[in-house]
Structure 1
């Protein structure tokens, strides 16, 4: 279908002519007069289709979900506020406005579109009435906040907390025993087959993202067209453009998570002064820490006050309220300067640099060659991804994209002492690996080109299996390569099947003879 729509752009009622066509699967195909109007259209159709999803994500980013979902969400809201997710998004958007006004306007247009479509989308989503939630207003920085919130737990700092608990309960020697490289884990897949090994001579790029079962899903199929480009791919609701999977016609790209480690946890020593101010003990001794109090509204309950503290390392996410002394005071701590307690601060690249890499998103839409994709991805920040891309001129790309700090190896494993200068980040980020494509390339969260940037990876059986399947033919087509997507061989199941067989079962999964159906 086509529709002409007069929308509200920045409160001035600018007329926008947007063509919307939905195919047999309901996938929206959007066409507009220019890139900003197209971003507005994408925001508008996303709000109409995914109103509840995008509004929940906005509230998650702001730490306000308890206001309509109740006290069960207090844990997340407290973390979101203490991690400074919304404030970091504001900082990153302000920097984007200073350094790339065009991209900032494009993101603003998307937020305007969301605001224009939210009321209609909310009217069709029963969750709003069930929770009493009224659709709110998206700010220009809200898409950046949603992106941060979507990926803040991706990079592994929860694993460092897990290792800390393992060390505390079992001993230091056990900390690296429990790793995701174990045989029971799985993750996303992707592969690239060069033109020399396809029936048509054109390269094939496949993305096979594996996600937890989600309703609605984290991805949104969409087509975006304007005079500058015509792109089809998978968007993240709440984010303009097509970040992870896209096909512009001449070039296509796909990603998997690189399993890189780019967030650090610091053990902080804090003390409160008589006037209520907070200080943190770092490499240069005691220094002021930023501190303020925020109030979380709770549906069906009393408001909760949350203190937010940030040291020179980063926002304190654990142990803000652990007074009195939970740590031994340093020797230079005067007795009248308050009791000392320990906490944990999170350091992550966008909070440090004020960069989130959103300028990459419109550049990807305009890409015509692998070189364009490669150049755009030089500005990528997070999450850190392995990227495969190919173009119609024979160009191939296999690289890591993202921002990984250079620091002491101990930072990548555990919580490290904030007062030890050995654990500071170096000014320049780590170099990003890349590799040539020899016939085909595979990515599956396993150790590979991203190995120097991480600690734990997915086991190799999926990557090995895909590699073997792709190596079995030199005449691949889009139709025949679906066999790789549909393959169910799971080499990690072999030890389990062997154990079942030893216990009297059958390797094909049937129960032992004589076993009851309920066994």
Structure 2
């Protein structure tokens, strides 16, 4: 890849600014005027507003979705092609040998095969809309404009296919669902520290932590099934754990990893709690912050389809948003829908050959084996390991890989839903990844549902790998009608922040005690929303943007009691003594706290002999209890750990920011890193494709912005924000993290970023008066 990339850059550099202008002109799509296109049933107007958001107006729903596919490809062609190549495991074909580990992971798991099996299960309306979307994408591709990435890498993308629309949803299911990585960690912890070590390294959800639904809303007294870990835990040798972790590293390279503090917030407020007397619904999904951004804002209106909000290029629907009557938001439930099975000797296995094309190199052929449970993912792990020497065969069972996935029906159905009944009918088709859906409508109703296939386990909790001998099998799925839900809750408020969904009185086990995010965000949101008797949209904005750290509130007395080991440590403690706990870019206290917390999160590395990063709750429990993990090499206690890690923190910050501690501020290190998936680490291109800026927020603040360990970069966060006012839907608000355009040379590539950082929003309006300066492109059927 490097030769072609550098050659292109040298050519552009030699030609000067004119070459960049040429690249921009030849990449920019047509956004005004008229164009005739085959596949349309009637005329469609596409009006882009002042921020590049398309407002699509058609007489036929299929034409509206055709136009969505058309503008998706116009603005995000590279992103769409990259996403489908990820699902297909075909990155090395265009990126070279460096992408081979990712392709091995993707082919072994079989994301594309799962997408192919899902397509025939969709209903007729979904199939019609997907076909229309595909036609729109290919109509845009035929116009001949090519994204800069295609020119730099020297290839032409293939035509879009219907299955490509389904395939990216499988990668989203991986990004948002399951606990495969937790099982790998738990198996390693159990091997090194015994079963008791799990509670130390990965703290259980607190008994007093908030749940999304109350015991009254669950409405049952029945006890939950046994929630302890399985009594039979096969021991996995280091070689097998290494093979499994190689897949994790491959996923991380693609930005698909489960991180502490990665999650989402959404809530819905009933009219009894609002100034207007009508509901307000808010959502901000926390996902990888990339260039281009994941989301694409759009307003899509046909005859019956009338939805506005956040779409994902490649998918023919508004994923989060509203129509003229109903609004919805989503956060990740994260029930346990994955299990690792250690297959016994002699277990029946099938196998297939996968041929991976590698740019500039010979093809690579891998063998993918499957058991009755699913793909054997301890194979093809990289690092020289393969199924002949990696030890026990570990297979993955996962709801998203099973045939008959109708999740696309659910998302398209939400776009059409006019009331709670239609909303829940759509969600009954939902499979994976399970999401917390909050609901509101113009009639004043509010609700919540957690749809998806959740396995029923009896007598075991899925927290560690289990034997594949038939003793630990799923007993069906939780029936849809019995999944957690509520309509018009008595207190007029539903808050979700990836926290525990239901109290222990719920009759099914959704996940083990370590499945849920720490309770800090849910507590803070509830604290803010219940502090004001009648809430306005402005109150909701302030809540969404809140940067006060409840984590600091818990840690404060423990950290301030630290014995300083130096004058600079005393100075740091004095600064923290006066800090208000707000994670602002200008704060010195925010920097000291997050940097110190990073050091404390490494306390289990000696015992585990790896790079494990504990979450803040696990660290807090150790400090409060004088836990065993505080010792270093078997020596010392928590007091000594605090003194030692504070000094280490200050040495680290001094090396990064210089000797003048007074000049240290959070924003100098904590910056959003919206990096390009292919060129983000290519030094010659990163300056053009990556986008960085100081940002507020931290670990488990409502405006979540967890600093990446070691780098302090914010690589995940509120990728999209929306606030829907059901008293006046066109006064609703939304914003993305970067911009509508995919090309870094385009005018709308980054024009939302500063607004997003500063806590501003765009009008989520279907009215032309709110769109500012516009450009209109009219699509006509061919022959007109």
TM-score, length basis structure 1:
0.86
Greater CA deviation, 401-410 or 357-366? 401-410
Deviation per CA, 1:205-243, whole angstroms, max 9, x where unpaired? 001222232111221111110111321111122111122
Q: Spell out the pairing of 1:299-378 with structure 2 (5 A cutoff).
A: 299-319=359-379, 322-324=386-388, 342-378=392-428
Please, which of 510, 513, 523 is the counterpart of residue 453 of structure 1? 510
Q: Partners in 2 of 1:39 and 1:167 — Cα distance?
A: 50
1:434 to 472, 485, 500: 485
- After the TM superposition, which of the residue ranges 257-266 and 207-216 deviates more from structure 2? 207-216
Deviation at 1:442, TM superposition (A): 0.6
Residues in 1 aligned to 2:38 and 2:270: alpha-carbon distance in whole angstroms: 46
Question: 1: distance between equivalents of 2:151 and 2:75?
Answer: 17
Rounded Cα–Cα distance in structure 1 between residues aligned with 2:557 and 2:154: 53
1:402: how far off? 1.1
Choose which of 73, 92, 101 in structure 2 pairs with 1:47.
73
2:332 corresponds, among 250, 253, 257, to 257
SS in 2 for 1:224: strand
Are positions 1:232 and 2:308 aligned together? yes
SS in 2 for 1:141: helix
1:176/1:217 CA distance change after superposition, 3 Å = farther
Q: Secondary structure at the match of 2:162?
A: coil
Equivalent-residue separation in structure 2 for 1:295 and 1:238 (angstroms):
25
Q: Does 1:168 pair with 2:191? A: yes
Matches within 5 A, 1:269-280: 269=344
Query: Could you tell me how far 1:247 is from its partner in structure 2?
Result: 0.8
Q: Is the 1:50–1:121 contact (alpha carbons within 8 Å) kept by the matching residues of 2? A: no
Residue aligned with 1:412, SS? coil
Aligned to 1:110: 133
Q: Look up the SS of the partner of 1:58 in the other structure.
A: helix
C-alpha contact 1:360 1:377 (8 A) present in aligned 2: yes
- Judging changes above 3 Å, is the alpha-carbon distance between structure 1 residues 69 and 325 closer, same or farther for their aligned structure 2 residues? closer
CA offset at residue 410 of structure 1? 3.7
- Structure 1 position 254, deviation (Å): 0.5
Matching residue within 266, 271, 285 for 2:341: 266
Q: Which position in structure 1 is the counterpart of 2:660?
A: 517
Are the counterparts in 1 of residues 205 and 500 from structure 2 also a CA contact under 8 Å? no
Aligned counterpart, 1:336: none
Aligned mate of 2:524, from 433, 456, 465: 465
Aligned partners of 2:35 and 2:453: how far apart in 1? 40
Alignment of 1:140-155 (within 5 A): 140-154=162-176, 155=178
Deviation at 1:8, TM superposition (A): 4.0
What's the CA shift for 1:498? 4.3
Select the residue among 283, 288, 295 that pairs with 1:219. Answer: 295
SS of residue paired to 1:390: strand
For 1:361 and 1:211, how far apart are their aligned partners in 2? 19
Aligned counterparts of 1:238 and 1:480: Cα–Cα separation in 2: 34
| Alpha carbons 1:258, 1:386 under 8 Å: kept | yes
Distance 1:498 1:6, change over 3 A: farther
Q: Tell me the SS of whatever aligns to 1:360.
A: helix
**SS of match in other structure, 2:358:** coil
* Structure 2 residues without counterparts, runs of 5 or longer: 1-30, 207-259, 565-569, 580-587, 593-645, 665-784
Corresponding residue of 1:128: 150
Q: Is the 8 A contact 2:454 2:477 kept in 1?
A: no
Q: Give, in whole Å, the separation in 1 of the partners of 2:143 and 2:447.
A: 42
Query: SS of 2:495's equivalent?
Result: strand
Who is 1:273 aligned against? none
Question: How far, CA to CA, are the matches of 2:344 and 2:539 in structure 1?
Answer: 59
Following the alignment from structure 1 to structure 2, what is the Cα–Cα distance between the partners of residues 165 and 472?
44
Equivalence for 2:620 = none
Q: Distance in 1 between matches of 2:203 and 2:119?
A: 34
> SS state of the match for residue 494, structure 1?
helix
Counterpart residue number, 2:273 = 197
Q: How far does residue 95 in structure 1 lie from its aligned partner after superposition?
A: 2.3
CA contact (8 A) 1:400 1:450 kept: no
Q: 104-113 or 427-436, which moves further after superposition?
A: 427-436
1:415 aligns with 2:438: no
- Give, in angstroms, the shift of residue 49 of structure 1: 0.8
1:338 aligns with none
Equivalenced residue count is 479
Report the equivalent of 1:331. Answer: none
Alpha-carbon distance between aligned partners in 2 of 1:3 and 1:408, rounded to the nearest angstrom: 62
What is the SS of the residue equivalent to 1:466?
helix
Instruction: Please give the alpha-carbon distance, in whole angstroms, between the structure 2 residues aligned to 1:490 and 1:355.
Output: 39
Q: Name the one with the larger helix percent.
A: 2
- Structure 2 distance, partners of 1:147, 1:133, is 25
Q: How many angstroms does 1:478 deviate by? A: 1.8
Task: Tell me how far 1:120 sits from its aligned partner.
Answer: 5.0
SS, match of residue 209 in structure 1: strand
Q: Residue 6 of structure 1 aligns with which residue?
A: 36
Query: Separation in 1 of the partners of 2:291 and 2:500?
Result: 31
> 2:121 touches 2:406 (CA, 8 Å); kept in 1?
no
| Cα deviation, residue 352, structure 1 | 2.5
450-459 or 21-30: which moved more?
Answer: 450-459
Give, in angstroms, the shift of residue 322 of structure 1.
Answer: 4.2
Deviations 1:424-444 (A, max 9, x none): 222343541123522211110
Question: Contact 2:325 / 2:418 at 8 angstroms: preserved in 1?
Answer: yes
The structure 2 residue matched to 1:28, chosen from 48, 54, 62, is 54
How far apart, in 2, do the equivalents of 1:347 and 1:398 lie? Answer: 28
TM-score of the two chains, using structure 2 as the length reference:
0.58
Q: 1:182: Cα distance to partner?
A: 8.4
2:179 aligned to 138, 152, 156, which one? Answer: 156
Change (3 A) 1:254 1:153: closer
Change (3 A) 1:150 1:185: closer
Distance 2:459 2:434 in 1: 18
Is the partner of 2:169 in helix, strand or coil? Answer: helix
Alpha-carbon contact 1:43-1:112 (below 8 Å) kept: yes
Deviation at 1:181, TM superposition (A): 6.6
Match of 2:534 in 1: 475
Q: Distance in 2 between matches of 1:177 and 1:356?
A: 39
2:408, 2:113 → 1: CA distance? 16
Instruction: From the superposition, tell whether residues 422 and 360 of structure 1 become closer, same or farther in structure 2 (CA, over 3 Å).
Output: same
Evaluate the alpha carbon distance shift between residue 89 and residue 490 of structure 1 in structure 2; reply closer, same or farther with a 3 A threshold.
same
Deviation at 1:448, TM superposition (A): 2.8
Instruction: Name the SS for the 2:287 alignment partner.
Output: coil
